[in-house]
Amino acid sequence: MNQSISEALSSSNEDYWTERRKEIHNWLKEQSPSLAELYEGAVYLISTQTVSGRVRFISHAVREIRNRLPGELSDRVDYGEEIKKLNQTWKDHNLFFDTVGSISTENSQTNIPSSSIPIPLKVFSKIQSLLSLNPEKGRDKAKRLFERHIPESQIDSRQLSVSVDIWWKTTGWFMERAHDNGNIDAEYDNQTLYSQFEIFESFLGTLSQNFYSNTNELDKILEEANT
């Protein structure tokens, strides 16, 4: 029977499966098992050159972690559920769905100009609240991720801005290589790949260490960025 990557890594004495990586992996499992699997596979692939297409596979894993991690670590808005609530409020006030320019109350239906349709304050408030839930852009999500999960005592506004820039640039490097562009693995510089992945892991280490110990990964990243 073939071993899974999880079994291979857990039973392996390879140096690449370090304590820090185990810590990151365990933390990701707590947040999102599917992202933990992607990280696990990326660690394996970054440490071996025997799998064809590894650069693209690693890049896909980083891409998914970058895109989904902010949502996994925050209170996500269920837009479908919010629309369902608005729908029910609309019905509770006997408002029509298919008649533009008219509104009904419990006792009557009133025809009014379609350019101006009065609605109950409660319905208006529901609509206003829903419209205020604008989805954040990717970079804004990254900023929010750092703000929420790195204590203010460990990072000031300038450091936060620099950190987001480095995170975005580093993960962007992988984003550019996540889709096939005609290049083969041999055309990529392995040292650059390792360096970019190390920075990526440093950020994951910073986030995970807030759950386990004092953060020191971010200081290292910022110190290297300023030299």
pLDDT digits (tens, 9 = 90+) for 73-122: 555 555 566 677 777 777 777 766 655 444 444 444 555 545 566 777 77
Q: What is the pLDDT of residue 164?
A: 87
Q: What is the pLDDT of residue 176?
A: 94
Q: What is the pLDDT of residue 213?
A: 45
Give the CA count within 13 Å in the CB-facing half-sphere of 193: 21
Q: What is the pLDDT of residue 1?
A: 38
Q: What is the pLDDT of residue 108?
A: 47
Do residues 61 and 42 lie in contact, with contact meaning Cβ atoms separated by under 8 Å? yes
In a 3-state reduction of DSSP, which class is residue 103?
strand
- If one counts every other C-beta atom within 10 angstroms of the C-beta of residue 210, the result is 16
User: Residue 139's closest CA among 177, 172, 174, 176?
Assistant: 172
Q: What is the pLDDT of residue 25?
A: 94
Identify the segments of the chain with pLDDT beneath 50: 1-3, 5, 8-12, 100-108, 113, 212-215
